[in-house]
């Protein structure tokens, strides 16, 4: 890290976690009777973290999580499934740890939220009353005319880990040597800003070992992307990428910017083509189309979204600016400087949990801190990361980075440092899954 060494950063982030835990623990000791009902929509990172930390803060609070899936597949590390380093079962998380804490987990889909009556309705016909409702629905996709939901079994998005991840992996395995994979990267904002480029890297690694005549073409909606310098450096070191030409004759990766293509004209599942304004129509063997994104459907159905499809919230409690008593966090929320990442969702879940526990106990919320670390794996023993600590800035009403805290893996990192980054990434994955789902 350029601004702060890793040991000191971990001390700092550990301090943030301890401070949050202390805030949560106080009401449970002093106000054990200050219970209430909390209904959480979504059992992903944000929802599960909030549920567990509310129970840690005050075990007397009745917490119900409503989630349509029987288990959860993490989007982080799902690119390793595509590259063949992991199986789908290795990124699957059970809800058993939450149930063991006394959290009720209901397998159902939420169809509506009545903010006036403080009631959550489900597809199964159940109604759940609440004092506070937490909406953590993740993302949904905008319809942009390029690919319909019905075509996603052939032109995959794989941006919600699970069945789509398995489909895309099988397509890569079935592709002939010499074939071309096209990744259509989304416009900002979207879940996991470096994700499409980590995916590019790990698919290229798989092709290098199993289909060396093949390549990956990234058709981007943007002219730059997260960790661009580090990714292009990695692609040059590992896959023959020429930064000047954004590819090259001997490169397994080609990156095309929005400016260079002029934009996308069409994507066809029928003949597996992508057409751009400047490049015309081009046929691919596998197309991974990652659409523009918005907050999960229930957020819109409940009237929680703004005109851009995301949810405006209080930065100290994540309470909706539209409906009191409803909190929205994770990918669906507008958290200003924080990226839409798994670690952000985990950090926000702790802040939201602390706020709810204290509100129910009649205590002040306080000024929260937040943390994010994002690891990217570009190939075998080759990783890098970005990390930041955030604090609420009341004057500007933003979640702002703390100056001097965190940093980015330096461009001159040694091979040993990059190998350790991969180890750190794996350790982080195990720890955050344990912290989130128990």
Whose tokens are 């993740």? That residue is: 138
How far is Cα 25 from Cα 309, in angstroms, rounded to an integer?
A: 35
Average pLDDT estimate for 169-175: 98
Per-residue pLDDT at 148: 64
Would you state the structure tokens that stand for residue 163, as one six-digit string? Answer: 């069945």
Per-residue pLDDT at 4: 37
- Specify the fold of 6-140+293-437: FAD/NAD(P)-binding domain (3.50.50)
Average pLDDT estimate for 98-125: 98
Chain segment 42-81, per-residue pLDDT in tens: 999 999 999 999 999 999 999 999 999 999 999 999 999 9
Average pLDDT estimate for 20-26: 39
How far is Cα 288 from Cα 181, in angstroms, rounded to an integer?
A: 8
| 3-class DSSP assignment, residue 133 | strand
In 73-159, alpha helices (H): 78-83, 96-100
| Concatenated DSSP letters of 38-60 | EEEE--SHHHHHHHHHHHHH-TT
Per-residue pLDDT at 149: 56
pLDDT higher than 80, residue 245: yes
**153: confidence class by pLDDT, cuts 50, 70, 90:** confident
**16: confidence class by pLDDT, cuts 50, 70, 90:** very low
Lowest mean pLDDT among 1-15, 50-64, 123-137: 1-15
Domain layout of the chain by residue ranges: 6-140+293-437, 146-289
Chain segment 285-316, per-residue pLDDT in tens: 999 999 999 999 999 999 999 999 999 999 99
pLDDT higher than 50, residue 17: no
DSSP letter assigned to residue 198: H
Chain segment 367-385, per-residue pLDDT in tens: 999 999 999 999 999 999 9
Whose tokens are 């980075």? That residue is: 401
DSSP letter assigned to residue 187: P
How far is Cα 206 from Cα 377, in angstroms, rounded to an integer?
A: 13
Beta bridge partners of 182: 217, 287
How far is Cα 286 from Cα 182, in angstroms, rounded to an integer?
A: 6
Per-residue pLDDT at 150: 60
**24: confidence class by pLDDT, cuts 50, 70, 90:** very low
pLDDT higher than 80, residue 20: no
Per-residue pLDDT at 34: 55
pLDDT higher than 80, residue 15: no
**144: confidence class by pLDDT, cuts 50, 70, 90:** confident
Per-residue pLDDT at 217: 98
To the nearest 10°, report the CA torsion of 410, 413, 417, 421.
40
How far is Cα 379 from Cα 419, in angstroms, rounded to an integer?
A: 10
- Specify the fold of 146-289: FAD/NAD(P)-binding domain (3.50.50)
Distances (CA, A) of 41 to 71, 106, 110, 319: 14, 10, 7, 14
| Nearest alpha carbon to residue 28 among 73, 59, 65, 1 | 59
Average pLDDT estimate for 400-407: 93
How many residues does the structure list for the chain?
438
pLDDT higher than 60, residue 118: yes
Higher pLDDT, 214 or 21: 214
Mean pLDDT of the chain: 92
Chain segment 31-49, per-residue pLDDT in tens: 444 589 999 999 999 999 9
| Nearest alpha carbon to residue 83 among 199, 239, 193 | 199
How far is Cα 81 from Cα 75, in angstroms, rounded to an integer?
A: 10
To the nearest 10°, report the CA torsion of 88, 89, 95, 97.
-130
How far is Cα 156 from Cα 34, in angstroms, rounded to an integer?
A: 47
| Nearest alpha carbon to residue 102 among 156, 150, 64, 147 | 64
How far is Cα 361 from Cα 116, in angstroms, rounded to an integer?
A: 22
Distances (CA, A) of 114 to 119, 241, 306, 318, 323: 5, 53, 18, 18, 10
Per-residue pLDDT at 121: 98
pLDDT higher than 80, residue 253: yes
């Amino acid at each position: 890290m350029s601004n702060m060494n890793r040991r000191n950063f971990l001390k700092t982030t550990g301090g943030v976690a301890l401070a949050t835990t202390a805030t949560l623990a106080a009401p449970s000791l002093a106000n054990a009777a200050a219970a209430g009902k909390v209904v959480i929509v979504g059992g992903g990172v944000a929802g599960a973290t909030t549920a567990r930390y509310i129970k840690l803060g005050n075990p007397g609070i009745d917490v119900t999580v409503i989630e349509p899936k029987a288990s959860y597949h993490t989007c982080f590390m799902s690119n390793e499934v595509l590259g063949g380093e992991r199986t789908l079962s290795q990124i699957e998380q059970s809800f058993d740890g939450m149930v063991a804490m006394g959290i009720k987990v209901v397998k159902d889909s939420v169809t509506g939220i009545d903010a006036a009556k403080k009631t959550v309705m489900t597809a199964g016909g159940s109604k759940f009353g609440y004092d506070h409702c937490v909406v953590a629905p993740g993302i949904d996709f905008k319809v942009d005319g390029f690919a319909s939901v019905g075509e996603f079994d052939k032109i995959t998005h794989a941006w919600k880990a699970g069945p789509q991840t398995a489909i895309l992996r099988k397509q890569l395995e079935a592709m002939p040597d010499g074939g071309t994979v096209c990744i259509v990267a989304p416009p900002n904002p979207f879940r996991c800003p470096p994700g499409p480029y980590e995916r590019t890297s790990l698919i290229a690694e798989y092709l290098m070992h199993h289909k060396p005549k093949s390549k990956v073409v990234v058709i981007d909606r943007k002219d730059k992307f997260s960790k661009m310098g580090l990714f292009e450096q990695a692609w040059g070191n590992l896959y023959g990428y020429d930064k000047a030409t954004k590819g090259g004759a001997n490169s397994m990766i080609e990156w095309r910017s929005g400016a260079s293509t002029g934009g996308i004209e069409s994507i066809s599942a029928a003949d597996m083509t992508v057409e751009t304004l400047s490049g015309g129509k081009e046929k691919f063997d596998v197309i991974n189309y990652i659409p523009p994104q918005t907050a999960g459907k229930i957020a819109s159905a409940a009237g929680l979204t703004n005109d851009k499809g995301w949810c405006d919230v209080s930065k100290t409690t994540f309470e909706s600016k539209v409906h009191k008593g409803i909190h929205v966090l994770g990918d669906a929320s507008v958290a200003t400087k924080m990226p839409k990442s798994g670690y952000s969702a985990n950090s926000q879940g702790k802040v939201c949990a602390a706020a709810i526990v204290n509100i129910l106990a009649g205590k002040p919320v306080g000024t929260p801190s937040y943390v994010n670390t994002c690891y990217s794996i570009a190939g075998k023993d080759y990783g890098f990361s970005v990390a930041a600590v955030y604090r609420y800035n009341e004057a500007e009403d933003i979640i702002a980075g703390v100056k001097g805290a965190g940093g980015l893996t330096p461009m001159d990192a040694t091979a040993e440092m990059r190998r350790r980054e991969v180890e750190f990434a794996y350790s982080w994955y195990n720890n955050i899954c344990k912290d989130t789902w128990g």
